[in-house]
Amino acid sequence: MNGQFTIGRKTYKDAKSVVRVKPSLYEVYQNERIYYSKINIVNSFAGMITDYFTEGRKVKDIIESKSASKQDIALQIKKNNVLLEMYKYASALSAKSGKFVIAK
C-alpha cells in the first residue's frame, strides 16, 4: 500500500483496514494513480513553492514595519508581485482586459 487509500469519501490509513473493505481492482488502480500523482507531479512543485513563500521573515506591512530587514521587505514584495500577476491575469484585470461588471 502506498500512503493512504481512498474509496469514495472514506480514507483508510493502514493496509489491514483496506483489506477488510475488499476494494475492487479499479479502486486499487485509482489509488495507485493518485499515489503517482502525488510523488511525481505534486512533489515536483509543492515543496519549491512552499519554500519560496516561506523564505525570510513574514512582513505584515511593508510600509509601516520597523522591525523587518530590507531583505525581508524585498522578499515580501516579490511574493506579493507573483500573486498579483496570477490574480490580475486570471480575473481579467490585466492592462488590456475589457470593461465588464460582476454580479455576485
Q: Which of 8, 9, 10, 22 binds other proteins (CB under 8 A)?
A: 22
Q: Does 83 bind other proteins (CB under 8 A)?
A: yes
Residue 76 beta carbon to other proteins: minimum distance, rounded to whole angstroms: 7
The contact mask relative to other proteins for 31-50 (x = CB under 8 A, - = no) is -xxx-xxx-xxxxxxx-xxx
| AA letter at 92 | A
Q: Which of 14, 17, 54, 71 binds other proteins (CB under 8 A)?
A: 54
> What is each CA distance from 62 to 10, 70, 78, 81, in whole angstroms?
44, 10, 11, 13
Q: Of 18, 36, 38, whose CA–CA distance to 6 is shortest?
A: 18
User: What is the total count of residues that contact other proteins (CB under 8 A)?
Assistant: 61
| AA letter at 35 | Y
Provide φ and ψ at 70, rounded to 5°.
-60, -40
Binding site for other proteins (CB under 8 A): 1, 4, 11, 15, 18-19, 22-29, 32-34, 36-38, 40-46, 48-50, 52-54, 58, 76, 78-94, 96-104
